[in-house]
Structure 1
């Protein structure tokens, strides 16, 4: 006896407004920063403007994935297109790591041959960057814990805000001491911190893209809980996998002896949704044990 329950007790998060504001703010900042770099001849500002342009691309990709995740299922995509949010998070993690690598490489080169930078101009533009990137990160703060795609966007923006803050400190230091090497030194330090965070995002997104059990779910604990339910004498073929960054599915065969299978299934699926956020549940009830292992 097989039964599938699909229910979601959490309303889907509408990230459209957040992405719209983030893309608009960052696009405007890229234009301002690029123009300032062109007028002053500051390669640092031009390079950062190019980096922020990749951020806009990343936000657009994450936004597109969030839109795809809301599309209805089709005969060709029976689970819908929610997995696009996982791929977007993976792409964002890779983009962050590539950007960190490029900045670190350039900073190492400049340590041996520091380039004079207009400290005041860099500081003022970076201050604007702090405001833009911090504001953009805050747009995704409330959604980042339950949505890896939103987490990727949040980390991207938060990392850029940190970079802008470090640039301000470096600019102040350069104006006070005249030490041009502060600019690449701070860039390297910040890049290492960003790399650690991005590596965690990459690991989680890659794990989910390979149908791994979401990190926040304890498979052993769920198996133990299922085996303790009334009438359950054993289980096997327990599978838990992500459908998107916000939806998780579970399928399991239960050896069960009871009188009311519908009531049992309703109770178990409701509990899995409420306690673990697993809203897509398929239970296969069997009357006799199977030779397969759990």
Structure 2
């Protein structure tokens, strides 16, 4: 029995490698287009970066001349915009490197580090600007409404152009989305600043500048919290948002000849790249290879999970469990054999039939 099991494992691994390679062959056939898309993403990000840096330099000068915290806060936010885009570009370069050595997934999570850094930067900056805005709300300085209005209107145009450039990049990447959120938040900030400048110019109400800054702070908090939350889910290896691992396991265990599924782990390597591993027990006499291929097809087509590693065994296949082959109820056999298959099983056990978890 042991010899048979070893041979079976080897064939299963070889067959799995063939299927897995075939699954990625479709991707490999588009390798050139993926490279072109990555280059295009970098060009769009670089275009946005140039627009932001040029305008930011002028905004700093005008902000101090006009004594406008809203403009200075916008300039500070634009500095983080520029930094976020540079960070995104660096992360894209690192993520594109092939897997080697101890980094068996490559450096794909560099993009998630970038996204989290962008989120944390937004939160820290919002705290500082919130403190300054409250101080100016209590004791508002004289503000040149005309300069603020004109600069903010130019800023709206610049940020619209930068946001348009970045929208052309692949925003399914949390890395690109993080940089994009910086720019979009800045666009809203300039709209608020333009309104504040117009109010100061028309009515002389100086506190409008500080109120606009608080609006910007609220937007930054919202964007920063979302980025930190989403990146933290990936670092903590939570299941992809919108996918319930228990519901997925219940669907898979209902497949023909599948008796039990345990040690199911579902996580994301980076945004948009989910991975799954699980131990599958098949009824005695069942075709392990056919079951595995069927489950991988379901995962690929229904859940878009193309990185799936499935260990498939027959119930009672272990030498210590030979006596279980005499049991006609495959589900009962699985219950007795489960502890032997995985002595330190993680997560719930999903079983077919009336004994389902």
Q: TM-score, with normalisation over the residues of structure 2? A: 0.75
Corresponding residue to 1:92 among 112, 115, 118? 118
RCO greater where, 1 or 2, for CA within 8 Å and sep 6 or more?
Answer: 1
Quote the offset at 1:174 in angstroms. 0.6
Corresponding residue to 1:247 among 270, 273, 285? 273
Instruction: Give the corresponding residue for 1:200.
Output: 226
User: Which range moves more in the overlay, 128-137 or 221-230?
Assistant: 128-137
Task: Give ranges in structure 1 of 5+ residues lacking alignment.
Answer: none
Distance 1:138-1:271 versus aligned 2 partners, 3 A rule: farther
What is the Cα-based RMSD across aligned positions, in Å?
2.3
Tell me the distance in 1 between the aligned counterparts of 2:225 and 2:257.
44
Larger radius of gyration: 2
Structure in which a larger fraction of residues adopt helix:
2
Quote the offset at 1:259 in angstroms. 5.0
Q: Secondary structure at the match of 1:120?
A: helix
Q: 1:34-73 alignment to 2 at 5 Å?
A: 34-37=60-63, 40=65, 42=67, 44=69, 45-73=71-99
Instruction: Give the corresponding residue for 1:265.
Output: 292
Task: Give ranges in structure 2 of 5+ residues lacking alignment.
Answer: 1-8, 316-333, 340-344, 350-357
Tell me the distance in 2 between the aligned counterparts of 1:274 and 1:90.
30
Tell me the distance in 1 between the aligned counterparts of 2:253 and 2:63.
64
Instruction: Give the corresponding residue for 1:148.
Output: 174
Q: Secondary structure at the match of 1:54?
A: helix
User: Which range moves more in the overlay, 8-17 or 109-118?
Assistant: 8-17
Quote the offset at 1:32 in angstroms. 2.3
Is the contact between residue 264 and residue 278 of structure 2 (CA under 8 Å) also seen in structure 1? yes
Q: What number of residue pairs does the alignment pair up?
A: 293
Distance 1:270-1:66 versus aligned 2 partners, 3 A rule: farther
Is the contact between residue 257 and residue 286 of structure 2 (CA under 8 Å) also seen in structure 1? no
User: Which range moves more in the overlay, 127-136 or 87-96?
Assistant: 127-136
Q: TM-score, with normalisation over the residues of structure 1? A: 0.90
Instruction: Give the corresponding residue for 2:205.
Output: 179
Is the contact between residue 173 and residue 179 of structure 1 (CA under 8 Å) also seen in structure 2? yes
